Amino acid sequence: MRAMILAAGLGKRMRPLTDRCPKPLLPVAGRPLIVHHLARLRAAGITEVVINVSYRAEQIIAALGDGAEHGVRIAWSREESPLETGGGIRQALPLLGEAPFLLVNGDVWCDLDPAALPALGDDLAWLALVDNPEHHASGDFHLDAAGRVHAEGEPRLTFAGISLLDPALVADEPEGAFALAPLLRRAMADGRVGGHHHRGDWVDVGTPERLAELDRRLRG
C-alpha cells in the first residue's frame, strides 16, 4: 500500500513560525514533524510515499530528498498554488496508482498503527475519528455502532486527519482546487464510508502553542 502525506498548506495558523520554515519541517522532539510520519509509515511496512508540496516546496524537497535516509521512497507532487485536499489528491493520482492508499494530514500527530488498518472492501473511504478537542468541540461526523460514518447524528467525533481512500473517490472530479469533505459526505450518504474511534494519542498540531505542547510531551 502507498501513503500520501498532505504538506502543501500555507501554515497560516502557525505564523510567525512558518514565515521562514514550512510547517512540515517544524521541529518536534528533535526532528521535523513530517519525519515522525515517515518513521511511523516505515515501521508499518509502508515505504512508497507521495508528498504534495506548494509553499516553500524546495525547502521540503531539499530536506527529505528521495526518502532513502528515512527508509522510504518519496514521489513529489508539486502544486503551483495549494489545491486543497481534494485537488491535491486528484493531481497525485498518477503517482498513487489504482489501489486504496493511506492519507495522512501533515499537521497531525497520532499513535495509530497504519499496519492495523482494515481493508476497504466496497467502501470508498475509512476514517480515523477521535474525541473532540476543546478547539473543535462540535466534532465532524457520527460513528454508529456498526462502524459506519455519517455526516449527521449524535454523538459526534472529530476526523483525525488519517484515512484510507479509494482513488475512485476523486478520480472523476475535474482537476483544480477542491475540498475533500463534500466528496466524503456524498460517499457517506451512499453508505460507503467506514471508520474507527481511535482512543490513543492524537494532536492537531495547528498552532505554535499546540506544537510546543506536543514537543514537551514527546520529550517526556
Q: Would you say 157 and 197 are in contact if contact means Cβ atoms under 8 Å apart?
A: yes
Q: What is the pLDDT of residue 138?
A: 97
Q: Would you say 54 and 78 are in contact if contact means Cβ atoms under 8 Å apart?
A: yes
Residue 126 binned pLDDT confidence (cut-offs 50, 70, 90)? very high
Run of H or E residues at 40: helix 33-43
| Cell numbers given for 81 | 498554488
Q: What is the pLDDT of residue 96?
A: 98
| Cα-to-chain-centroid distance, residue 134 | 20
Tens-place pLDDT, residues 83-123: 999 999 999 999 999 999 999 999 999 999 999 999 999 99
How many C-alpha atoms does 9 have within 13 Å on its Cβ side? Answer: 20
Tens-place pLDDT, residues 36-57: 999 999 999 999 999 999 999 9
Q: What is the pLDDT of residue 12?
A: 77
Q: Would you say 99 and 2 are in contact if contact means Cβ atoms under 8 Å apart?
A: yes
Tens-place pLDDT, residues 9-24: 877 777 887 888 899 9
Evaluate if residue 65 carries a pLDDT over 80: yes
- Mean pLDDT value across residues 170-197: 97
What percentage of residues in the chain have a pLDDT greater than 90? 90
User: What CATH number was assigned to the domain covering residues 3-219?
Assistant: 3.90.550.10
Listed by start position, the domains of the chain span: 3-219
Q: How far apart are CA 169 and CA 100, in angstroms?
A: 10
